[in-house]
Structure 1
Amino acid sequence: MDSFPSPQELWARWRKSEGLSDEIADNLLTPFDLTGGKIPRYYQRIAINRTVQAILQGQTRSLLTMATGTGKTTVAFQICQKLWTMGWNTAGEHRKPKVLFLADRNILVDDPMLKDFSTFDEDVLHKIQGEVVKSREIYFAIYQAIAKDKNRPGLYRQYSPGFFDLIVVDECHRGSARDESNWREILEYFQPAYQLGLTATPLRDDNVNTYRYFKQPLYTYSLKDGINDGFLAPYKVHRVTTTYDALGWRPSPDDLDRYGRTIPDEEYQTGDFDRAVALKARTTAIARHITNFLKKSDRFAKTIVFCVDEEHVLEMVEALNNLNSDLVQQYPDYVCRVTSAAGDVGKEQLYKFKDVLTRSPVIAVTSKLLSTGVDIPTCKNVILVRVVKSMTDFKQIIGRGTRVYEDDGKLSFTILDYTTSTRLFADPAFDDDPTRIEIEAIDDEGETVDGSEEVIEPEQPEIEERDFEDDAPTGFTGIPEDDDLLPRKYYFDGGQCEVIGEIVYELDPNGNQLRTFKLIDYTGEQVRTLYRSTLEIQQRWANSEQRSEIVQQLGDRGIDFEDLKAVTNQPDADPFDLLCHIAFDAPIMTYKQRAERLRRQRKDFFEQYGNDAREILEILVESYAQGGIEQLALPAALKVKAVEEKYGNVREVAECFGGIDQLKQAVDQLQILLYTA
């Protein structure tokens, strides 16, 4: 080949290989909707174009498999928009298509309707809620609103089988493709319509098989793909162990639960906690560890805590409220319960929690309601306090934290695991197609009911657990009068439990496996990646703006200077020296040593100023020696007692230097000399 083919030649070759007619080829060139400047990413364009092509070529069922947070709804909107613009429909008539967006939860249809699809005119959109409207083009519905039950024949039958041209099924792995499902009847009733399934977790089991219904996916974009491309946030895992989880728990012969019952004399393990026996001391220990983690990182980082059931949620909320009473006084909803039992209050808390502009609620405690279908881009912490055996469930839970939100500096997230559920990361199927399905209980309003049935169990690493069905109630509220009403779960409020171990893991460079996270090695690796030498760090660190950039870059990679001081046992070391020591084996100097070196080697710097200015600079150097470089930030640096009592406010201090600009110049030079003297 003498030269590269032109775009026109490539297009002609591709058309020929795909067997495209002129009409289909022209329709494939229908532009994307770029309203608001939202340009589809490369993988979204692939998914959109493949789906539109499949539909135009007559493929009646299609499946897209895309990891949580990669924009399935955006893809669905662009597909609908393209078909709408070109006037495609199943009858080949000159009209716009009628589309049904179908899901099993209100939030899964409300969000798309109010966000992506809002670019359509308002009189085009309609959510089906108890009445039959046939004058719109794009419809949204939850199965429960249109399906038949013992009281209703099924609202969907008020529409003719050929009424819709396209049905988009969101989270299609969650029941619509099951042969025995009432919801499957809806899809089969509208058989003339083209049907597109969207899921983050397609299935391959012969009995419950999304593939069997929707066929092989047209396109797959995995969690690993998203992290490698930078579209999804990487994560760090803290695997935390309490004394009860490490050693098991066995009641003493005289131990009674809160209802006065003798607790069966058995050895209880992690899988039993809050299912067979609820241990208040363990819940408190975990809540304390969560609180301390947030205090060390960010107390306003959006956090989701996954518990076993409704009662466990209530216990955890109470413990977290008690341990964060200082913030709860200021923000009463700092810790909130988000479960189906919380009703409208829970819904309101959920919408506030997922709003990127609200500061509180901060900690959302749930069992299953937040495991899927909820977009929380600012979520920085995902916490597992219940055993997760289902790969499907696990991937959905992890997906709550994978969204990147640069406006809030959210480029990564942390998983705190108190039940060793993150062992599933080691499963070869983690970033492959899952091998089972989990059926969640959904009420008539399209809301998740706590306690769900797991079916088609895959082989998983074993965790000993009592034989309870997931949809069976395990708790009780209040003291029952009838012994027959006593809960099967035992509640023990005594004992002592504490966290005794914490191992931090990170993804390996290939994004395939978790490896043990050693902070010193990791920090050195990251610093050497960013900077070539101590000289480069020194030149940047001496400048306050560039120093802030270094701190931000390292913070985005999960590196905290207080943690470095702790693991190196150097509480008084300057962060600059810590970085150079860890990355390039440079000697460590403390704040006081740097301050003394400056006084000794650069007397000329101080002597160029008058007595008052020189004394002020000496005070600033001493402030640095006591607390570090942050103590030199203006104007706060001048609000120390020694300066204010003798020299007054900032303007009066500046007069000692000849003006504000000269004061800033002197302090900037002081910072430079601290690191270059």
Structure 2
Amino acid sequence: MTEADTCREFVTPKLVEAGWGNAPHAIGEQRSFTHGRIIVAGGKVRRGPQRRADYLLYYRRDVPLAVVEAKEASLPAETGVQQAREYAEMLGLKFAYATNGHRIIEIDYTAGTEREVDRYATPEELFSRLTAATHLPQAATPHLLEPFNLVSGKVPRYYQQIAIQRVIEAVLLGQKRILATLATGTGKTCVAFQICWKLWNSRWNRTGEYRRPKILFLADRNILVDDPMAKMFAPFGDARHKISAGDARQSRDMYFGIYQALATANADVFRQYRPDFFDLIIIDECHRGSSRDQSAWRAVLDYFSPAVQFGMTATPLREEARDSYDYFGNPVYTYSLRQGIEDGFLAPYRVHRVITTVDAAGWRPNKDELDRYGREVPDDEYETRDFERIVALRARTRAMARHLTDWLKGTDRFAKTIVFCVDQEHAAEMRQELVNLNSDLVRQYPNYVCRVTADEGDVGLAHLADFQDVDEPAPVILTTSQLLTTGVDAEMVKNVVLARVVGSRSEFKQIIGRGTRLKVDYGKEYFNIIDFTGTATQHFADPDFDGEPARIEDVVVDEDGVQVAVIAVEEDGEPLELQAEHRIADAGVALAGDDHVEPRKFYIDGGEVEVIGHLVYDLDANGKKLQVVKYTDYSGRALRTLYPTREALQSKWANPDTRAEVLRELSERGISFEELASSSEQPDADPFDLLCHLAWNAPLRTRRQRAEQARSKTQDLFAQYSDTAREILTLLLDRYIERGIIQFSALSELMKVQPFDRYGSPSEIAARHFGGVHAMREAVTRLQTAIYQ
């Protein structure tokens, strides 16, 4: 019996017998809970395998309790134990079953047991065990079981469901400070909304009265509250209200506010509400300062201390986020950037490290050189962290803009792009350079390039709204400094450009989070980080970073922004290190932090800046450590880890059936034959020979040479068929010479197109000229084997 037969004949009837069939939603069969990692190879995108549970058992529509892993009846039930455990732990479930239809093994995480049982537990039994283990009072269960609001049609993903359940359990158990850590782009707002909805709709509140709770959604920017209030929280209808200095009404249930409006310089608006007014406060981006003891915004949280306070952040525990963890405690749930990419919910990214001459070697003024305003520039060696802070080099900005423009021309000129600059002035200069370099499109789309900073106000927000609209062609490029680092849900961002140093790990994650959202139906499946400052490679080199890129390239461009070189680096090479502290010029110009007013700068309008480097950073074969290697070196090393010898590879490659497995393994490691042929400048080489050359320095042979070899070795094969059959086999060899490897699985499709279609359909060709389908496949297999002998 197959696994499907086992499920149909034995597993499902026993689940129904245990009471799981009493509700239509109780048994979920073949439930996929991930999308499958997006794998980018050679510019082509495919999905990796999904995680799929044979059965998920639900107590209520939105409350899964157990996973069941079924194996075919001929296998021991123990075969499914490890997978059942893996899925249960991933899904946050406390119960799992492994079965072969006859024997049932129950895994109970609440009791720490794994034992064979004669039946499945009933829904009531499992839920009773769960509530007893979590010490959840019986009176609190209706709040936990309140259904999600699915009006929008978006069903929370598995990790969102876990986060929602964990937070609500903590609330119901009386925990006053709660934290959840979810990577940027994974839907923290959705989690917050469903928590609010379940508690609001089930009339939970701190005092146990029969009333709806008063909830405050708190952030530090208008964009972080306005967008959720208008969109995600729309089902709350007239219960919503945004607190402002002039409107502190108290008759609603779902409140929104920013710290700046609640705690103004002239009056503390928040004090118009009683300290115990709110039952629940949700703090979005809670790592951004409100939990620091010295923060002026901390007064808001301290004042409303009776409320349950739930903080959301994308920043794992590190020094820059320690205040949040000290205040809220350890997170009840964490979902990392790495996991989001692995599950296929977040877009993977490729990193291009672009190095200019002045960033590589530094910049020093000429003797007695004056800046734009006639001031003498202090004689010093200025480096990446100094540019646009102490000295503003217009030539450097121009080189960046030229390179970015050429990048877009070579890829997609309408790919949504955000350029993060040092300050608003730098963003203005970058916008101007990009406008002039893209004048052909600016004539047609006046807002092709826009600056969106605090100075633009409502005009900038209007540009941002158009940028976020997937159906609006312009703006395409936004230049900014700080405003767009968080809270901008722009699903079509395909390029994130770093024109400034980002030293903070949390800010860096927020910035790259602008591109992690997927929009597959619009062609957005991955994005690029174009790094002019070394920020990305510095953070990726940190062993604690939790989301590696698919690939990193270091590009060298000249003053026209044109790529001029690829710098070869040893496998153990190091990226350019950034100075840990801001340097101070001899003139005594102090460099302020990112959150302070920028210091006086020296403006240098002349000079030339070129791009001089393009390095390739890749992961090792296990996808763990970021290394500095050329793409060809990486491919050769990855191949040797899969196949220790050339003979081991050849034995699998020569057979069309096993070759598909080789191709899959190479693709999963990001190895593309098109990219290899381009990188090694060997467009006519056979893929097998190219791989062997890179891995073992074997001699290269062209596809034509291998085809001629195959003809000479298969003369007996050609002789046994008619003239027409020989013509078809010769055409197959010609197609191999033109396009490369012939895949056995694609033979029937190949026979449907020119020039093969003139001989008839695939079945007609097989019957008339080869003596049947099996005989034709055998002939083609022999031909392919001869190619690789």
Both proteins in one fold, TM over 0.5: yes
Deviation of the 1:380 alpha carbon = 2.3
Deviation of the 1:462 alpha carbon = 5.5
1:50–1:146 distance in 2 versus 1, CA, 3 Å: same
CA distance in 2, matches of 1:539, 1:139: 66
Is residue 2:238 matched to residue 1:123? yes
Mapped contact 2:143–2:202 kept (Cα < 8 A): yes
CA distance in 1, matches of 2:394, 2:693: 44
Mapped contact 2:385–2:579 kept (Cα < 8 A): no
CA distance in 1, matches of 2:320, 2:501: 26
Deviation of the 1:198 alpha carbon = 0.9
Name which of 283, 301, 305 aligns with 2:415: 301
Mapped contact 1:89–1:96 kept (Cα < 8 A): yes
Name which of 510, 513, 516 aligns with 2:628: 516
TM-score (norm 2): 0.64
Residue identity in the other structure for 1:177? S
Q: Show the counterpart of 1:568.
A: 680
Is residue 2:273 matched to residue 1:175? no
Is residue 2:397 matched to residue 1:270? no
1:46–1:472 distance in 2 versus 1, CA, 3 Å: closer
Deviation of the 1:306 alpha carbon = 1.4
Mapped contact 2:618–2:631 kept (Cα < 8 A): no
CA distance in 1, matches of 2:500, 2:697: 43
Q: Show the counterpart of 1:162.
A: 276
1:336–1:511 distance in 2 versus 1, CA, 3 Å: farther
Structure 2: stretches of 5+ with no match in the other structure:
1-112, 548-577, 643-647, 715-722, 725-730, 742-757, 761-783
CA distance in 1, matches of 2:389, 2:114: 71
CA distance in 1, matches of 2:321, 2:114: 54
Is residue 2:380 matched to residue 1:257? no
Q: Show the counterpart of 2:221.
A: 105
Q: Show the counterpart of 1:498.
A: 610
Deviation of the 1:627 alpha carbon = 12
Residue identity in the other structure for 2:426? H
Aligned partner of residue 37 in structure 1, secondary structure = coil
Give structure 1 regions of 4+ aligned residues with deviation exceeding 6 angstroms.
Answer: 524-530, 532-540, 553-562, 572-598, 624-629
Matches within 5 A, 1:62-73: 62-73=178-189
Is residue 2:156 matched to residue 1:33? no
Deviation of the 1:499 alpha carbon = 0.9
Deviation of the 1:33 alpha carbon = 2.6
Matches within 5 A, 1:163-562: 163-201=277-315, 209-421=323-535, 422-431=537-546, 461=580, 464=583, 467-469=590-592, 470-471=594-595, 473-474=597-598, 488-508=600-620, 512-521=624-633
Q: Deviations over 1:520-560 (max 9, x none)?
A: 35567899999x999999999xxxxx9xxx99x99998778
CA RMSD of the aligned region, Å? 4.9
Q: Deviations over 1:310-334 (max 9, x none)?
A: 1211221222222223333333222
CA distance in 1, matches of 2:471, 2:252: 33
CA distance in 2, matches of 1:305, 1:556: 31
1:625–1:53 distance in 2 versus 1, CA, 3 Å: closer
1:554–1:331 distance in 2 versus 1, CA, 3 Å: farther
Residue identity in the other structure for 2:281? I
Deviation of the 1:567 alpha carbon = 1.8
Deviation of the 1:31 alpha carbon = 2.6
CA distance in 2, matches of 1:252, 1:420: 26
Q: How many residues align?
A: 607
Identity %: 56
Residue identity in the other structure for 1:218? V
Mapped contact 1:224–1:431 kept (Cα < 8 A): yes
Q: Deviations over 1:545-597 (max 9, x none)?
A: x9xxx99x999987788754542224677999979987999998989999999
Q: Deviations over 1:67-86 (max 9, x none)?
A: 11121111111111111232
Mapped contact 2:417–2:477 kept (Cα < 8 A): yes
Aligned partner of residue 314 in structure 1, secondary structure = helix
Mapped contact 1:389–1:460 kept (Cα < 8 A): no
Deviation of the 1:519 alpha carbon = 2.4
Mapped contact 1:306–1:384 kept (Cα < 8 A): yes
CA distance in 2, matches of 1:534, 1:112: 57
1:231–1:581 distance in 2 versus 1, CA, 3 Å: farther
Is residue 2:174 matched to residue 1:58? yes
Higher relative CO (Cα under 8 Å, sequence separation at least 6) belongs to: 1
Q: Show the counterpart of 2:192.
A: 76
1:369–1:508 distance in 2 versus 1, CA, 3 Å: farther
Aligned partner of residue 615 in structure 2, secondary structure = strand
Deviation of the 1:393 alpha carbon = 1.9
1:260–1:80 distance in 2 versus 1, CA, 3 Å: same
Aligned partner of residue 204 in structure 2, secondary structure = coil
Structure 1: stretches of 5+ with no match in the other structure:
433-458, 476-487, 541-545, 602-606, 609-617, 630-655, 659-674
Residue identity in the other structure for 2:274? S
